[in-house]
Amino acid sequence: DGPPLAEAVEATADDIATMEIRGAATIARAAAEAVAEQAAETDADTPAAFERTMRHAGRRLYGTRPTAVSLPNALRYTLGRMAGDDVETLRSSLLAATTAFTDRLDRAQRDLGRVGANRIRDGDTVMTHCHSTDALACVEAAVGQGKEVSAIVKETRPRNQGHITATELREMGVDVTLVVDSAARRYLDDADHVLVGADSIAADGGVVNKIGTSGLAVNARERGVPIMVAAQTIKLHPDTLTGHTVEIEMRDESEVIADDARADIGDIAVENPAFDVTPPRYVDAIVTESGQFPPESIVTLMRELFGESADRPWEE
Cα–Cα distance for residue pair 46/52, rounded to 1 Å:
10
Asked if 140 is part of the footprint of ligand RUB (rule: CB under 6 A), the reply reads: no
Torsion sign over Cα 109, 244, 131, 25:
negative
Asked if 199 is part of the footprint of ligand RUB (rule: CB under 6 A), the reply reads: yes
Closest by CA position to 296, among listed 229, 191, 172, 205: 205
Closest by CA position to 183, among listed 228, 137, 215: 215
Asked if 217 is part of the footprint of ligand RUB (rule: CB under 6 A), the reply reads: no
Q: Quickly count: other Cβ atoms within 10 Å of residue 60's Cβ.
A: 20
209 known member of a binding site: yes
Asked if 212 is part of the footprint of ligand RUB (rule: CB under 6 A), the reply reads: no
219 known member of a binding site: no
Comparing every residue's Cβ against ligand RUB, the nearest one is: 197
CB of 261 to ligand RUB, least distance (A): 23
Closest by CA position to 313, among listed 57, 109, 46, 98: 57
Asked if 32 is part of the footprint of ligand RUB (rule: CB under 6 A), the reply reads: no
Are residues 127 and 148 in contact, defined by beta-carbon separation less than 8 angstroms?
Answer: no
Cα–Cα distance for residue pair 29/12, rounded to 1 Å:
11
Using omega within 30 degrees of 0 as the cis cutoff, is the peptide bond preceding 295 cis? no
Which one, 26 or 150, has the nearer CB to ligand RUB? Answer: 26
Asked if 78 is part of the footprint of ligand RUB (rule: CB under 6 A), the reply reads: no
Residue 259 is among the residues annotated as catalytic for this protein: no
Q: Give the range of 53-61, 143-151, 185-193, 196-204 binding ligand RUB by CB under 6 A.
A: 196-204
Cα–Cα distance for residue pair 210/208, rounded to 1 Å:
7
2 known member of a binding site: no
CB of 83 to ligand RUB, least distance (A): 28
Asked if 153 is part of the footprint of ligand RUB (rule: CB under 6 A), the reply reads: no
CB of 250 to ligand RUB, least distance (A): 12
Q: Give the range of 23-31, 84-92, 215-223, 254-262 binding ligand RUB by CB under 6 A.
A: 23-31
Which one, 26 or 272, has the nearer CB to ligand RUB? Answer: 26
Asked if 116 is part of the footprint of ligand RUB (rule: CB under 6 A), the reply reads: no
Cα–Cα distance for residue pair 188/185, rounded to 1 Å:
5
Which one, 56 or 193, has the nearer CB to ligand RUB? Answer: 193
Asked if 194 is part of the footprint of ligand RUB (rule: CB under 6 A), the reply reads: no
Determine which one of 111, 124, 134, 199 is catalytic: 199
Residue 130 is among the residues annotated as catalytic for this protein: yes
Asked if 210 is part of the footprint of ligand RUB (rule: CB under 6 A), the reply reads: yes
Among 13, 68, 202, 228, interactor with ligand RUB by CB under 6 A: 68
Q: Give the range of 43-51, 116-124, 193-201, 255-263 binding ligand RUB by CB under 6 A.
A: 193-201
25 known member of a binding site: yes
Max Cα distance, the chain (Å): 64
Asked if 13 is part of the footprint of ligand RUB (rule: CB under 6 A), the reply reads: no
* Chain residues that interact with ligand RUB, rule: CB under 6 A: 22-26, 68, 130, 132-135, 161, 197-199, 209-210, 274
Catalogue the active-site residues: 130, 199
The binding site consists of 22-25, 65, 209-210, 235
